[in-house]
Amino acid sequence: MIVAYDGTDFHGWQKQVHPDRRYLRTVQDVLEKAVVKVMRQPIILTGASRTDSGVHARGQVVTFDAKNEIPPDKLILGFNSWLPDDVQVRAVDVVDNKFNPINHCTSKGYTYSLAHGCSNPLRKPLFDRHFHAFTAYALDIEKMQEAAKHFLGEHDFAGFTKLNHGRKTTVRRIDTCEVCKTEEWKIIINIAGAGFLWNMVRIIAGTLLEVGRGYTSPDAIPEIIASCDRRRAGKTMPAQGLSLEWVAFDDQLPNKLAISKKPCSEK
């Protein structure tokens, strides 16, 4: 399945149990209940990305095993009839039993949406406030674009994640990192790569914000990355600006509903 959701009222993708033993509202839990209703059998969902609380998705990829053979077009109707308004199954298809959306993932694409210059209250997001972070400062987009190029390639991003990240290695490869103006006083940061650490995209966005404010030079980014020091990178930006746009797989059908992977300079 390709699944989209507004993450505002969710505690992230993955099932979580509160200390009082009640389930928190997560995308996985809500979606599993809808799938079980339609398939009429126990179901366990596997998602390609464990998005955090408040983070959105347009192209989350989710799999499950089922004995019932129901046509995909009927499954779309069935699943969505049981889902709340902030989750939508956008495509369903049958894949090989060996396919795993986590292990077979080759790259993921995220966007971070940001409104700036919001010291003017009329520039602060209103109707799209759940999907844009905002800052009071007017940002220098050209400097941010220059700085973004330094994140490309393979680096140790230990300084761009939480201290207790729980990963064996903090080395990651970034294939795309660019800052694009979408409309007056609004930008998106496009980031794509082989994998990301906990809060990595939000910290990169926070670091680019510091560049846009003039606090950090674009040429300082390589040194900040090499330091592996979390204190040298920018703040962790709010969750509402982040969206998982697409997930790609080697030798697998690409996410047809994903946004274009072309750099904004080519659009």
Residue among 150, 168, 157 nearest 203 (CA): 157
What tokens appear for 62 in the block?
A: 């989710």
Q: What are phi and psi of 239, to 5 degrees?
A: -65, -30
Which one is catalytic: 20, 29, 52, 175? 52
Residue among 175, 174, 58 nearest 113 (CA): 58
Residue 156 annotated in active site: no
Strands 56-63, 242-249: pairing is: parallel
Query: Which active-site residues does the annotation give?
Result: 52
